[in-house]
Amino acid sequence: MDPQDADLNLRDYLRILRRRAPMIIGLTILGALIGYLWASTQPQRYAASADVRILDPNAEAVFDGQTLRIDPKREVDTQIEIIESAAVRTAADETLGDRADEVDTVLVSNVADTDIVKIRVESTDPEVARDGADAIANAYVEARRAQTVSTLEARATGLRDKAAEFRSRVAEIDAAIAFAPDSPEVPSFQSERDSLLTRADDYEERAAELESTADLSSGNAEVVDPAQLPTGPFDPRPTRSAVLGALLGLLIGVSGAFVIERLTDEVTPDNVSAIVGAPVLGTIPLRSSRRLRRHHLPATPRSIAERESASAEAFRSLRTSVRFSNLGKEKRVLAVTSASGSEGKSTVTANLALALAEAGLRVVAISGDLRRPTLASFFGIEDTDAGLTSVLLGDLGLIDSLV
């Protein structure tokens, strides 16, 4: 595992979010703007609803002597499927005519704990939304009435056919009695004849009742609340879209912050300690926006004399950290190095040396840059042949090389 990913806690996450705050805020604002502008360009949509009551199927009399028990919830669900059927939609489209194509969406739902079915129609035209909801509601009511009438008439026809069969049998019995009036079977024929006539009359009476019921039947459905003309669009809602866009932008921003943090190899004061496995003794601030762009540290030790400057305070803080980082052990040599050139080694060395000297310590600053030494220039020393190479080669003694 990458050391900088190890042992992350809440403070680390908050630090990442704070460092990437401009990106997160920017994406959040961008998401809100995109959501608002997108919603503002969408066509306005209107919705209207018509309420239909599904009556108890047992409310009307049953004339065949049997009672049919139907689960009300199941019956309502069945009727919703019928409302959504192609047959009902086709009938409604015929009512709407050329405007049928302007119906965008049809939603049918049951109002909780009631026998009311709500038919909602959405369209870019408020009048089409209203008329569409009414057309579907009326088409369904008419379709259910026609189905009920057809069922009742079919049952009435069946009863009349049965009565006709009974009367045909009566005619046969009358013919048999007329042919042999003295036959011993005449009494039984007469009894059967009377029974058949009674049943035929009963069936014809029940058929007449069914036909009368068919004429008056509502089909167990009625429109209880016709659709009203919408007073305003329900969609789009730019404010809601802006909020959703902002939330999406925030999510992308936060996710992107952690992805970038994982993929980046940038060394910062927050993660350098985990990377090198050692504590950070100090942080030297950049001096100006120009140097910030060039990634240069303060280029002159005179900043130490500026008691209120941030750089001077940073070097004094570094001096304190160096002196107290390992109490009880005397430090005689400090090496200042970096991964590449022009990262401020000479600047840190010069300023730290002066800060230590200010504290009353004896300090020797040694320039180890054998190609382009710059440490001497910080102390006003321009050209000198004395240096680390001369001491290493034995050309000069250590004391003689000090300037």
Asked if 156 and 285 sit in the same domain, the reply is: no
Residue 327 lies in a domain: yes
Give Cα 289 to chain centroid, integer Å: 42
State residue 3's pLDDT score.
46
State residue 138's pLDDT score.
93
Asked if 289 and 371 sit in the same domain, the reply is: yes
State residue 6's pLDDT score.
47
Distance CA 153, CA 208 (A): 10
State residue 303's pLDDT score.
39
Give Cα 217 to chain centroid, integer Å: 48
The number of domains in the chain is 3
Q: At CB < 8 A and 24+ separation, what contacts does 270-276 make? A: 270/12, 270/15, 270/19, 271/4, 274/3, 274/4, 274/6, 274/7, 275/3, 275/4
State residue 295's pLDDT score.
46
State residue 19's pLDDT score.
86
What lies within 8 Å, CB to CB, of 402 at 6+ separation is 364, 386
Residue 189 lies in a domain: yes
Residue 231 lies in a domain: no
Give 313-332 pLDDT, tens digit per residue: 888 888 888 877 766 666 67
State residue 179's pLDDT score.
81
Asked if 154 and 116 sit in the same domain, the reply is: yes
State residue 316's pLDDT score.
82
Asked if 366 and 379 sit in the same domain, the reply is: yes
Residue 386 lies in a domain: yes
| Whether the predicted model's global pTM rises above the 0.85 cut | no
State residue 287's pLDDT score.
59
Asked if 91 and 15 sit in the same domain, the reply is: no
Asked if 95 and 166 sit in the same domain, the reply is: yes
State residue 23's pLDDT score.
94
Asked if 128 and 76 sit in the same domain, the reply is: yes
Residue 230 lies in a domain: no
Is 44 in contact with 236 (CB distance < 8 Å)? yes
Asked if 90 and 52 sit in the same domain, the reply is: yes
Residues of the chain where predicted confidence (pLDDT) is lower than 70? 1-8, 56-71, 218, 269-271, 286-308, 326-331, 383-385, 400-401, 403
CATH number at residue 195: 3.30.70.1130
Distance CA 156, CA 150 (A): 10
Coil, helix or strand for 61? coil
Q: Where in the sequence is the domain holding 128, given as residue range(s)?
A: 46-225
Give 70-127 pLDDT, tens digit per residue: 567 788 888 899 999 999 999 999 999 999 999 999 999 999 888 899 999 999 999 9
DSSP type of residue 45:
B
Residue 259 lies in a domain: yes
Residue 363 lies in a domain: yes
Asked if 250 and 168 sit in the same domain, the reply is: no
Asked if 71 and 199 sit in the same domain, the reply is: yes
Residue 36 lies in a domain: yes
CATH number at residue 347: 3.40.50.300
Amino acid identity of residue 21, one-letter, is A
DSSP type of residue 303:
G
Asked if 208 and 285 sit in the same domain, the reply is: no
Asked if 212 and 67 sit in the same domain, the reply is: yes
